[in-house]
Amino acid sequence: MNPLVIIFRTHSDVEASIVRSLLDAHGVRSLVSSDVSHAVFPLSVNDLGEVRISVTAADADDARQIIETHRHDVPSGQLVRIRDEFEDLQRAIDYRFRDRGLLEHAMTHTSRANEDVSGGVRDNESLEFLGDAVLGFIVADLLFREFPQFDEGQKSKVKASLVSTATLARRAEHLALGDQLLLGRGEEKTGGRQKQALLADAYEALIAAIYLDGGIEQARAFVQREFAAMLAQVRAHGVVGGDYKSALQEFLQSRDRPLPEYRLSGTVGPDHRKQFQVELIVGGTAVAQAVGPSKKEAEQQAARLALERLSAGDAPPAGGGE
C-alpha cells in the first residue's frame, strides 16, 4: 500500500481547489486535509488554518512537477494562486469579493462535496436557499417601487417570471456561470455545466454570496443590473421573458376585442435551416406577420409586433407585416 505524501500546503480553500483540479486533470488523485473543521459558511482565509494536499508516494514527484510548471514566479517568493479561477466571473458580475471563499462556496456543487473524502468541501445548497429568499425580496421590492399601478396579481405574475428557473438559468448562461462551477466527476460527465436547474441554483447561490460579502445594497445593485432589460420590457409591454402572446391576449380581452388567430402562411429556407412565416389575425384583419426558426418563435414575434402596433393605434391593413 502506497503511503501518502504531502506535496502542497496553503491557507486558501480556493487555491487548494485549483491545485486539486489541476492534478485531477493530469490523472493524479489527491486528498485534502486540514486541522480546522469548517462551518456552514466559509471562514476568511486567515481563519482557515493550513490546508494540505497529499498524493501517493508514487505520484509525488509527478504532482510536484505539475504544480511547479503552472506556478507564477514572483520576486518575493511569496506563495500566490496558480491562477485566479474566478477573476473572469468577478469582472462579469461587476463585483469583487472581499472573501473569495464565499464565491468558491457558491460555485461548489454537491457532487463535488460528496466526492471529497476529507469532508472539508462545502456545497452551495445552503447559499441557494438564502439566495432564493434574497432574490425574492429584492424583486418584490423593485416591482413595488417601480410599478405602483400594477395590482397584486400582475406583480405576482411578473415576479414569478423573473425568478423562474428558466430566467435564472438564462442569466447564469449570460455570465458563463457553468464554466466556473466546481463539479464532481460524475456530474461533469453528464453535462452538469449545461443543466438548467443546476445553473439556476448556482445563480441563487451567487446572489447569496454577494449579500453575505457586501450586504443587501450590493445584492440589490447586482439584481438591478442583471434584470434591467427585463424590467424595461415590463415598462414597455407589461410582459417579461418574451411571452408576448399572453400579453397580447390580455390586451385584447381588456378592450373586448376578439382573441388573436395565428396562421402558418409558409416556410422559407432548406429543411435544416427552415424559417416559419406566421400571420396574426384579429377580427378577420391581418395585424402582423413574422418569421422565426420555429412556429412558436414566429408566433411570439408576430404577437410582439401586433402588441406594439395595437398599443399605438397603428394596426396595418390585411397583408401588412414587417
Catalytic residues: 132, 204
**Distance from chain centroid for Cα 277:** 33
Q: Which residues pair with 117 in a beta bridge?
A: none
Q: Three-state SS for 279?
A: strand
Q: Considering Cα of 84, then 87, then 90, then 92, what sign does the dihedral take?
A: negative
Residue 41 exposed, middle or buried by CB count within 10 Å (0-12, 13-18, 19+): middle
> Do 259 and 247 meet the contact criterion of CB atoms below 8 Å apart?
no
Cell 424595461 locates to 232
**Residue 208 CB: number of other CB atoms within 10 A?**
25
Rounded-to-integer distance, Cα 116 and Cα 7, Å: 17
CA–CA gap between residue 224 and residue 230 (Å, rounded): 10
